Structure 1
């Protein structure tokens, strides 16, 4: 069995990394400190570029997969999706990143 970092540590590392690169990162909702699910809302200059969830790859690792409505969906679709997810999973973390290549940074930090 391999040791794993607690969710709050992974989130903290991602936030620091984005900020160190000159981007904006915010913890919109804090979930379970140890094992909460992580949703990452990626933006670039305020425009949504994707919503991603950290999931197990069933080989002692994780990956980031797209979830929710596509970024080009009608206004408010992502907010509705996130509200439904938070209602069904109070341990969910929601992280917002506004930086070029937000998805790549999230993958490198969370996968």
Structure 2
């Protein structure tokens, strides 16, 4: 059985890991402490952004890692990410939105296809 952390604790640990790796990250929208849906924006610092959303089904995989999917097939401008997240916030006010700057990757996260 895997340990499933509260969203707030997972976010704090993730942002600390990003900091150790030299990546800047911050909370844009703070959601429910216990189990708010978690969305992560990867800012590639070239005008492109990946939006990672919770994968359908279980929030965690068999190894206890959070599951994410890409919202867009390739990086998009901030305006597209912002418009999509504003719509989601209207239907789920408890969601979390995190932004991490990473020029070359996805801040160490694994994304399902």
Q: TM-score range by the shorter chain?
A: 0.7 to 0.9
Gaps of at least 5 residues in structure 2 are: none
- Structure 1 residue ranges (4+ consecutive) displaced by more than 2 angstroms after TM superposition: 45-49, 54-62, 68-73
Q: How many residues align structurally?
A: 107
Runs of at least 5 residues in structure 1 that lack an aligned partner in the other structure = none
Q: Deviations over 1:4-25 (max 9, x none)?
A: 1100011111111111111110
Paired residues of 1:7 and 1:33 also in contact (CA < 8 A) = yes
Question: Scaled by the length of structure 1, what TM-score is found?
Answer: 0.79
1:96 aligns with 2:99: yes
Q: What corresponds to 2:38 in structure 1?
A: 38
TM-score (norm 2): 0.78
* Secondary structure of 1:47 counterpart: coil
How far 1:63 moved relative to its partner?
1.3
Shift of the alpha carbon at 1:58? 3.7
Which protein is richer in strand relative to its size? 1
CA drift of 1:106 comes to 2.9
Question: 1:65 and 1:52 mapped to 2: Cα distance?
Answer: 5
CA RMSD of aligned residues (A): 2.6
Alpha-carbon distance in 2 for matches of 1:32, 1:105: 24
> How far is 1:76 from its partner?
1.5
Question: Which structure has greater helix proportion?
Answer: 1
